[in-house]
Chain A
Amino acid sequence: MHIDPLEKKWAYATVGIAGLFVGIILIDALFHGINAPSNVETIDSASLHLSEEFDEDNLGVQLDENGNITIRMVAGRYGFYPKHITVPADTSLTFRWVSMDVLHGVHMPMTNMSTMIVPGYVAQVTTTLPKPGEYPLLCDEYCGIGHDHMWSNVSVVAKEHWTALAISTSKGRQDND
């Protein structure tokens, strides 16, 4: 078998390039905890209203005793519920998404708040939103003829401002408008 020396060098170089990328990804994953969003957790999408966690009263933004913020959202044709939420900027947020019907995806443009929402599973994403502002949440997977109409809104407000808001509203529930 004949391999040209130049080709051999190129082969080593490409292995090196790919190795570099793999190395960065592995270091990020193993030492910095940067992973694709995953938590294999099942739920019965047909009876969300009977589940405690995703009961209508329990949806939206919640601040627990330890100061952790969890946002529970239901996706269904055609919207994300609650339709509007307000969250603090620069704070770790844990979103928990479920579908009540078909496959959806949710993306907050210009941010990495993105996940598929597969019926039967809870999709969980933890992220921090650096910039305050008004953002839409857009459905990014075909979910039926009304797919283009599937969106809702998020207000990201400065941290200081949000704390006051959270305290002024009753436990957990927020503008479910």
Chain B
Amino acid sequence: MIDAVTKKLAFSHLWVAFGAFLLACFMGEYQVLERSGFIPAIESSAVYFASVSTHGVLMAFVLTTFFIMGFGYVVATTSLKQRIWNPQWAWAGFGISLFGTVLAAIPLLTGKASVLYTFYPPIIGHWMFYFGATLLIVGSWLWCVIMIMMMREWKQANPGAPVPLAMFATVGNALLWLWTSAGVALEVLFQLIPMALGWMDTLDPGLARTLFAWTLHPIVYFWLIPAYIAFYVFVPKQAGGYLFSDEIARAAFVVLIVFALPIGFHHLYMDPEQAKGWKLLHGVGTFVVSLPTFITGFTVIASLEIAGRLRGGKGLFGWIGSLPWRNPMVLSVILALLMLILGGFGGLVNASYAMNAMIHNTAWVPGHFHLIFAGTTVIMYFAIAYYLWPIMADKPLFSKDLALVQLWTWFIGMTILTTPWHVLGLLGQPRRISGVEYNSLLTLAWDPYELAMIFGGLVMLGSACLFVYNLAMTHRSQEVFEGEIEYAEPIHPVTDLPEYLNDFTLWNKVIAGLMAVSFGVPILQFFFMKTFGSSAWGF
């Protein structure tokens, strides 16, 4: 049973997340239409960049942060069987984050903060935007504290026992987020807000980019970890089997969290302000952080195989056919893995800096991250929502068939959207353009791909509407549903767990050490070097 406080908290967070998501999907479709130039009546760079800035902020900051918080509360109370530590704090966190979102939305929607979600100075938007974004993050810090406190309470009540895997990973993610958000927080507090308010005349864009790179890589793992949690703790059970290994799952989460942080310079491969040695160091770390993803792929597929065979599947691949493809969670994980494999190849290209030079900041990049983020990650958000909704609403899902159609169309739409997007990148199209103005023959080759993207986006938009419709209609059902959240059992029960796989104290220190090594000198150099600040520019 999920208690009433948790239900209310979770629904509030998740509805903000999915409301933002739906709105942003409409903007996404408008964007592919506008940038194609096929409809002259809607051409407007100013509206376009206001839209992309809002779409990016809603998807990358609002959908994710609210989803992760809401899901975290459910995981904490159901896996630990504990009440929420300090629900007032949880509501305060929700309120602060929501207020921040509204505050940021005002300048975004009125075109006063068209600085994109990465806000690279010295272009400066309205101060309200930076304030709002900061509050959104501050609210989420309260969530981090609650997650950490709940795990601590549980450990005191159950000395020596292994913390449930789902909670272990959630607390790891909270810790990751505290470390991750510190970089951008420093940038916003010491550079962007003082500049936007006119208290400071110049800032160093090189330092700003370095601080943002601190955040930019691990933030994607912050978004991804809920998907991985579902892979490990929901999927095996939903497929009708067992988790292949609980201990390895923990190890994978630990490596993911520790090594996600000190590698952000792969976003600066093409930047002048950091030396090549530091880029090389972060580049090597980038390959280390690919290891837990390989391990996760293995464990998930192994767990699925166990389930398939338990259900009577035979032969080398026969077990795949006997999986319950009509279970939304199982279908989602299969589609998520497919997109992860496709996206993984792209990621390999990005991570290898000799190849990266060819596609850096081209259309390839949004193509890649829509596939991995809007694809792999978000499809698991859908799966989690379909799983939680009936249990939390005590009503059956409005339509399971619709859910399956929705998941398939998201996947198909994503393929149609992102394949041409990658090709456009290889054909040299830069990212973040509102139209094609270049007087070059090269651009003639771009048109058919833009057309395909419009179609793919339309399929995804329809899919997004189906998703929200299904959840909303579930609330209106008259039937009663009773169910509980079921966490997958490992094949081998966890017995003698070393403390380093049951606690983050040690890892916190390791992160501090790695961050000092990988970011210490690169940040301090700006204070020792003779640098020249930039004054603020509009857009």
Q: Does A93 contact B (CB under 8 A)?
A: no
B438 touches A136 (CB 8 A): yes
Q: From A10, A18, A118, give the contact of B272 (CB < 8 A).
A: A118
Residues on A with C-beta less than 8 A from B538 are: 144
Residues on B with C-beta less than 8 A from A110 are: 358, 428
Q: How far is the CA of A122 from the CA of B272 in the complex (A)?
A: 7
Q: Does A64 contact B (CB under 8 A)?
A: no
Q: From B46, B244, B280, give the contact of A29 (CB < 8 A).
A: B280
A107 touches B428 (CB 8 A): yes
B437 touches A149 (CB 8 A): yes
Q: Does B401 contact A (CB under 8 A)?
A: no
Assuming the contacts A3-B248, A136-B440, asked whether A145 and B46 have C-beta atoms less than 8 A apart, the reply is: yes
Q: How far is the CA of A134 from the CA of B439 in the complex (A)?
A: 11
Q: Does A175 contact B (CB under 8 A)?
A: no
Is chain B's interface secondary structure helix, strand, loop, or mixed overall?
A: loop
Residues on B with C-beta less than 8 A from A46 are: 532, 534-535
Q: Does B299 contact A (CB under 8 A)?
A: yes
Q: Does A128 contact B (CB under 8 A)?
A: no
A140 touches B431 (CB 8 A): yes
Assuming the contacts A25-B280, A105-B361, A136-B440, asked whether A148 and B270 have C-beta atoms less than 8 A apart, the reply is: no
A129 to B: closest C-beta gap in Å: 13
Q: From B122, B268, B501, B539, give the contact of A145 (CB < 8 A).
A: B539
| Residues 139-177 of chain A, each 1 if its beta carbon lies under 8 Å from chain B, else 0 | 111111111110100000000000000000000000000
Q: From A17, A35, A115, A149, give the contact of B280 (CB < 8 A).
A: A35
B247 touches A2 (CB 8 A): yes
A29 touches B276 (CB 8 A): yes
B430 touches A138 (CB 8 A): yes
Assuming the contacts A26-B284, A107-B362, A115-B272, asked whether A136 and B205 have C-beta atoms less than 8 A apart, the reply is: no
B373 to A: closest C-beta gap in Å: 19
A71 to B: closest C-beta gap in Å: 16
B516 to A: closest C-beta gap in Å: 20
| Residues 473-484 of chain B, each 1 if its beta carbon lies under 8 Å from chain A, else 0 | 000000000000
A28 touches B440 (CB 8 A): no
Q: Does B3 contact A (CB under 8 A)?
A: no
Q: How far is the CA of A93 from the CA of B352 in the complex (A)?
A: 23
Residues on B with C-beta less than 8 A from A39 are: 272, 275
Q: Does B245 contact A (CB under 8 A)?
A: yes
Q: How far is the CA of A152 from the CA of B454 in the complex (A)?
A: 29
Assuming the contacts A2-B247, A36-B353, A116-B271, asked whether A10 and B295 have C-beta atoms less than 8 A apart, the reply is: yes
Residues on B with C-beta less than 8 A from A101 are: 122, 534, 537
Q: List A103-137 residues whose CB lies under 8 Å from chain B.
A: 103, 105, 107, 109-112, 114-124, 134, 136
A119 touches B352 (CB 8 A): no
Q: List B356-375 residues whose CB lies under 8 Å from chain A.
A: 356-358, 360-362
B270 touches A105 (CB 8 A): yes
Who on chain B is nearest to A6 by CB? Answer: B302
A140 touches B360 (CB 8 A): yes
Q: How far is the CA of A147 from the CA of B52 in the complex (A)?
A: 13
Q: How far is the CA of A36 from the CA of B281 in the complex (A)?
A: 12
A66 to B: closest C-beta gap in Å: 24
Residues on A with C-beta less than 8 A from B271 are: 38, 115-116, 118, 123
Q: How far is the CA of A138 from the CA of B467 in the complex (A)?
A: 39
| Residues 260-278 of chain B, each 1 if its beta carbon lies under 8 Å from chain A, else 0 | 0000000011111111100
B118 to A: closest C-beta gap in Å: 8
B3 to A: closest C-beta gap in Å: 34
A38 touches B361 (CB 8 A): no
Residues on B with C-beta less than 8 A from A107 are: 360-362, 428, 430
| Residues 433-476 of chain B, each 1 if its beta carbon lies under 8 Å from chain A, else 0 | 11111111010000000000000000000000000000000000
Known: A112-B358, A120-B204; 20 extra A-B contacts, CB below 8 A, are A1-B497, A7-B295, A10-B295, A14-B295, A35-B280, A35-B353, A36-B353, A38-B274, A101-B534, A102-B537, A107-B430, A115-B272, A118-B205, A118-B209, A120-B533, A121-B273, A134-B440, A138-B430, A151-B438, A151-B439
13 of the cross-chain contacts (CB-CB < 8 Å) are A3-B245, A7-B248, A15-B291, A29-B276, A35-B353, A36-B270, A36-B279, A40-B274, A40-B275, A103-B121, A111-B358, A120-B206, A138-B430
